[in-house]
Amino acid sequence: MQKKLNEFMNSDFTSDLNGTNQCVTELQNILLETSKKSLKIKKSKRRRKITIVAQKKWFDKDCRIKRHDLRKLSNLKHRDPTNVELRKNYHDALKSY
């Protein structure tokens, strides 16, 4: 990157329209490259654990739905632990799962 910046500083651009356009495009390329290197965006990885559980013979659609409902109730229970009705629904869902 430093090499490109030094080349840009040492190059002689003409003062006409083409020289100005060339100068601007080179500076733009330098800025784009530095921004890409400094602001790396990580790609999210796909989780494959769900497919492993779903491949087991005993884990059918009904079981998956019950597990999903249980997790939803669990998250709600953690957000509001004093709600008695929510806790009762969670324990009933846990028994049926």
**Residue 90: burial class (beta carbons within 10 Å; 0-12, 13-18, 19+):** buried
C-alpha 73/C-alpha 79 separation (Å) is 10
Average pLDDT along the chain? 85
Could you read off the pLDDT of 25-35 as tens digits, one per residue? 999 999 988 88
Q: What's the maximum distance between 2 C-alpha atoms anywhere in the chain?
A: 80
C-alpha 90/C-alpha 25 separation (Å) is 61
Q: Please give the full DSSP string across 51-78, using - where no structure is assigned.
A: HHHHTSTT--HHHHHHHHHHHHHHHHHH
With cut-offs at 50, 70 and 90, classify the pLDDT of residue 51: low
Residue ranges covered by each domain of the chain: 1-38, 61-96
Kindly report whether the global pTM for this prediction surpasses the value 0.85: no
- Selected residue with higher pLDDT from 13 and 41: 13
